[in-house]
Amino acid sequence: MAIGYFIGGIGLFLLGMTLLTDGLKLAAGPALEIMLGRWTSTRSRALLSGISITALVQSSSAVTVAALGFVNAGLLAFEHAVWVIFGSNVGTTLTAWLVAILGFSIKIDAYAMPLIGAGAFIHLMMSSPRYRALGTAIAGFGLLFLGIEFMKTAFAGLGNDFSGGLTADGNFYLLWMVVVGMTLTVLMQSSSAAIAIILTAIAGHLLPMDAGAAAVIGANIGTTSTAILASFGATPSAKRLSVAHVLFNLVTGLVALFMLPMFMWLMVSLPGGSRMEDNPAVFLAAFHTLFNVLGVALMWVIGPPMTRWLKTRFQRGGKVLALKHIDRNAAIVPNVAFRAVRMELERFQGLLSAHIRASLLNPLDKVTVETRRDLRELLYEINQYISNLLQQPLSPAMANQIPRTLQVVQYAYNLLETMDSLKKEPIVEAELLTQLNDWLVNNAFPSAIEPAEMLAQSGDADNSYLRLKQKLLDSAMEGKFGLSKMNQLLQRLSQYKRLQEQQIKAVRLSMDLDS
């Protein structure tokens, strides 16, 4: 029975944490973007932003990928992003305080069930998406503490033999408890859940205080597993931030473990520290916060040289046709991910325009065929990313904009398909073919022209198209070439007109996305 309560308690806690985080992210809306975009001009402000935003959304992972999205989008300097990450490690300790203070100081079932009910009613009855998201967060908050109650019941029935098995490794049991904390975090992919289990076990007097402290250190280190997994196949910026996250937690954990006896003495020596032993969960929450703050103090000294070193790592090697702004992990924060999608599509349109222009000006260049294949693969990655984004909870405004991004992608596919159909050049006079190519290059794919200017010139492009078409007809009537060649030229001109129309539609839609 105790094992069943334990498993069920973990499940309720993880479900509650997920609902709480998702609800708070949606309720916050664009606040994440505003805070990360405006409050990170210095490392101290970036640190405070990381702390406050993590406390707001109750997810260091969400803050990490939000910072990553801003770095990829060029809106947040990498030097400041690492301090947002460091701050998120301090901010995430708020969860331990909530568990310690509310989870063990009040009668949980007297409040958890009403919170679940109130949150569910708000979610079902409110029409505003932000209020519905707030209801989801409230219900998640209640489930989180209901899970703690089940875990408390489970540990009460397991008996003291459970702790003896955990700490039977002689003088090395602290290292063993670090491994236990890391393993719990890796298995559940949530340091908050791992720390909640540790605090519950300590409150039930199943573990000695120093063993619980070592397990908390392990949970803090284990949370880097998320960053490590996220770095596989990610952008260079993502990999650098992941390494910064890992280094911070490793250095902080090793120092905390080495200084554990001193920490324990210091915690007891602080005002009110003697009473903390009567409330071990609060004691460990304070310990968790203290060694993360110490980690920030250490990074204040070694952080700048570490940042300079990281900026020299994970270079792409000059590969152009690869994702630059979007990262698959940033989809956790839809607002940030959508901004990255817009910038990636804008970049892709520039690459595609340059490719089409080069293909028309140098039709015999074999490299263009390989480039077109690479562009198609890149477009497929963008399309898949947008599809994955659709699986996330979205605000109504974003839900309305995503179909437009898919239209831009479709126009890009159409442009590539039309270019494929132009592989074989018709056998015509070079002068006429040059005139056709010049018309398309100048009217649809000009070099260094603003999108708004291109739209303004679309009317002139239509008139010049009609004039060129009439010129081809007149030349055929004058006997300069036969009807077969005239049909080839008119067909080519029609394909060029389709290219121009697709480009103009894509530009117009892209401008609507930015407005």
Condensed to tens digits (0 to 9), the pLDDT of residues 198-242 reads 888 887 777 788 888 899 999 888 888 877 776 776 677 778 888
Could you tell me which CATH class the domain 328-514 is placed in? mainly alpha
Which of the four pLDDT bands, split at 50, 70 and 90, describes residue 305? very high
Average of pLDDT values for 364-374? 75
Q: What is the 3-state secondary structure (H, E, C) of 338-397?
A: HHHHHHHHHHHHHHHHHHHHHHHHCCCCCHHHHHHHHHHHHHHHHHHHHHHHCCCCCCHH
Examine the pLDDT at 45 and tell me if it is beyond 90: no
Burial group, residue 495, by CB count within 10 angstroms (0-12, 13-18, 19+): middle
Helical ranges in 421-480 per DSSP H: 430-443, 451-456, 458-477
Burial group, residue 168, by CB count within 10 angstroms (0-12, 13-18, 19+): exposed
Condensed to tens digits (0 to 9), the pLDDT of residues 389-442 reads 887 767 677 778 888 888 889 888 888 888 887 765 554 555 666 777 777 777
Distance of CA 478 to the CA centre of its chain: 63
Q: What is the mean pLDDT of the chain?
A: 77
Q: What is the pLDDT of residue 423?
A: 60
Q: What is the pLDDT of residue 487?
A: 79
Average of pLDDT values for 368-385? 86
Examine the pLDDT at 270 and tell me if it is beyond 50: yes
Q: What is the pLDDT of residue 111?
A: 73
Examine the pLDDT at 296 and tell me if it is beyond 90: yes
Q: Which amino acid is at 24?
A: L
Helical ranges in 29-160 per DSSP H: 31-38, 43-57, 60-72, 78-91, 93-105, 108-125, 129-158
Examine the pLDDT at 315 and tell me if it is beyond 80: no
| Cα distances (angstroms) measured from residue 494 to each of 353, 439, 454, 484 | 19, 12, 20, 15
Q: How far apart are CA 114 and CA 138, in angstroms?
A: 10
Structure tokens at 396: 């109504």
Q: Considering only residues 59 and 170, tell me which one the structure prediction assigns the higher pLDDT.
A: 59
In the chain, CATH 1.20.58 covers 328-514
Examine the pLDDT at 161 and tell me if it is beyond 50: no
